[in-house]
Structure 1
Amino acid sequence: MSAVLALSRVELKLLVRNRAVAVSALALPLAAGAYLAFAFPGGSDVRVWSTVIGVQVLMVLGFTVYFGATASLTARREDRYLKRLRSGEQGDVAILTGLLLPLVLLSLLQSAVLVAIAVAAGAPLPARPEVLLLAVLLGSALCVAAGAVTSAWTSSSEHAQITTVPFFLLLVGGLVWSGLPAPVDPSGALVDLIRAAMTADLAAAVPGAGVLLAWTAVLAVLATRTFRWAPR
């Protein structure tokens, strides 16, 4: 565990030093999420605020976790940092955990900040905050797996701005279906899970959690088959 934490600290410093990743993964989701909270007043309608907070969390997951994971894993692979780490004592799971843990922790922090901003703008407090936490964790796991898959087709951290577009379109496009019963896309499922957190409707949280777990499992299998530890 100490080795994982040490690797995480180093990775966090590298993320902050990379200007493109720092802006995309840190500043952009916070700025856009804060604007969204005040640009679309939801009054006291919990369903409207559920969607607003859902979009805020999706921006954090898309930019911080998914784009950050894709760019970071690609950059570490291309400079042969992954290969050097793999030649040491740590196993593959420990290496990837150390590299990606900062992004997950940042997503939790950013989501908490954005929810606080939404509450300041008039949103009700989540009735079941633990369900909201579950939504962010499941979404982070999904985006980490997606980032690992995408990194296999990404030649540099700058190239990640192009290769991440299809999954971003899936996340954005899925919001269209978020108001329908039992959406099978990840973004619709996430919004459903957040709506359940806001309304304390735990029965409604089960399908959303199941959809996110299913997507994560599929992407994890793809990642194990496509992920590359060294440059071609």
Structure 2
Amino acid sequence: MLSIAYGELIQIFRNRLVLVTMLVLPAASSALYIYLHQRIPALAVGGVAAVLIFLVVAMGLYTTTVTTLASRRQNLFLKRLRSTAAGDTGILSGLLLPVTAITLVQVTAILTVLGVVAGGPADAILLAVAVLAAVAMMLGLGLATAGVTNSPEHAQVTTLPVLLGTLAVSGWVGFTGTEELTLVKRLLPGGSASELIVNAWNGGVGVTDSLILLAPTLGWVVVAVALAARIFRWEPRR
């Protein structure tokens, strides 16, 4: 797995499109939100944190996951890996470990800057749990989306619904709360995770009540992984 991960890390830094998608766009978007917070102090910090995190995990982690798996399938790299001693789980873990690690570094750096600018989170541990839940959800959705993505170019289309949807939900929940349409907002992909991020940053909500919000997010992980197990393909469709 580690040898696969090392090779994939090299490929990431050789692919300019993936590098821009994964590093430049989320970082630039996050810098914009941090700038807006400085210009508009009334902007809710918890909501900003939720949107920043989903910018990174959706634009960086999710889209790169789909593009990477589609590319490796198209050039038959996935098929060749399955002929080695590595198991399916080890192959996928090795391919996705670098992008996941880079995403976590990005999120940590961005939230650290936001904390310096606007004050740190009320509960850093709860925030870490929320971030890991969001990462797990987007990885699962990435695996599922890769199952219906024929090529890296096709990924530009197949990723749009989840990409735009999770970003819209994170902003909706982050800046309007869940006092209205509570169930709808929490059940949408990214909704409960965004609320958990807001609670962790702003405080004022009990840990037990906040951890209940993990259930919808983990539910999406289960659904996405189950769907991926049915539709993910290791070879190009003929």
* TM-score, shorter chain, exceeding 0.5: yes
Q: Report the residue type matching 1:159 in the other structure.
A: H
Q: How does 1:31-180 map to 2 (within 5 A)?
A: 31-41=28-38, 43=41, 48-121=44-117, 123-174=118-169, 175-178=171-174, 179-180=177-178
Instruction: Specify the SS of the correspondent of 2:91.
Output: helix
1:196 has 2:199 as partner? yes
Q: Does the 8 A contact of 1:128 with 1:200 survive in 2? A: no
- Partners in 2 of 1:152 and 1:104 — Cα distance? 19
Q: Cα RMSD between the aligned structures?
A: 1.7
May I ask how many residue pairs the two structures share in their alignment? 226
- Partners in 2 of 1:128 and 1:14 — Cα distance? 36
Moved more, 140-149 or 68-77: 140-149
Aligned to 1:229: 234
Moved more, 217-226 or 135-144: 135-144
TM-score, structure 2 normalization:
0.89
1:215 has 2:220 as partner? yes
Deviation of the 1:226 alpha carbon: 0.4
1:26 has 2:18 as partner? no
1:185 has 2:188 as partner? yes
- Partners in 2 of 1:169 and 1:115 — Cα distance? 22
Q: Report the residue type matching 1:168 in the other structure.
A: L
Aligned to 1:15: 12
- Partners in 2 of 1:205 and 1:100 — Cα distance? 29
- Partners in 2 of 1:9 and 1:63 — Cα distance? 22
Instruction: Specify the SS of the correspondent of 2:108.
Output: helix
Deviation of the 1:77 alpha carbon: 0.6
Q: Does the 8 A contact of 1:64 with 1:106 survive in 2? A: no
Q: Report the residue type matching 1:130 in the other structure.
A: I
Q: Deviations over 1:189-208 (max 9, x none)?
A: 12211122221631332232
Q: Deviations over 1:49-79 (max 9, x none)?
A: 0100110000010012100100000000111
Deviation of the 1:88 alpha carbon: 0.8
Deviation of the 1:186 alpha carbon: 2.5
Q: Does the 8 A contact of 2:121 with 2:200 survive in 1? A: yes
Q: Deviations over 1:128-153 (max 9, x none)?
A: 21221111211111111111111122
TM-score, structure 1 normalization:
0.91
- Partners in 2 of 1:196 and 1:189 — Cα distance? 10
Q: Report the residue type matching 1:138 in the other structure.
A: A
Q: Deviations over 1:39-58 (max 9, x none)?
A: 13464x7x810100110000
Q: Report the residue type matching 1:125 in the other structure.
A: G
Structure 1 segments unaligned to the other structure (5+ residues): none
Q: Does the 8 A contact of 2:114 with 2:120 survive in 1? A: no
Moved more, 171-180 or 32-41: 171-180
Instruction: Specify the SS of the correspondent of 1:127.
Output: coil
Structure 2 segments unaligned to the other structure (5+ residues): none
- Partners in 2 of 1:91 and 1:130 — Cα distance? 33
- Partners in 2 of 1:213 and 1:51 — Cα distance? 21
Q: Does the 8 A contact of 1:67 with 1:147 survive in 2? A: yes
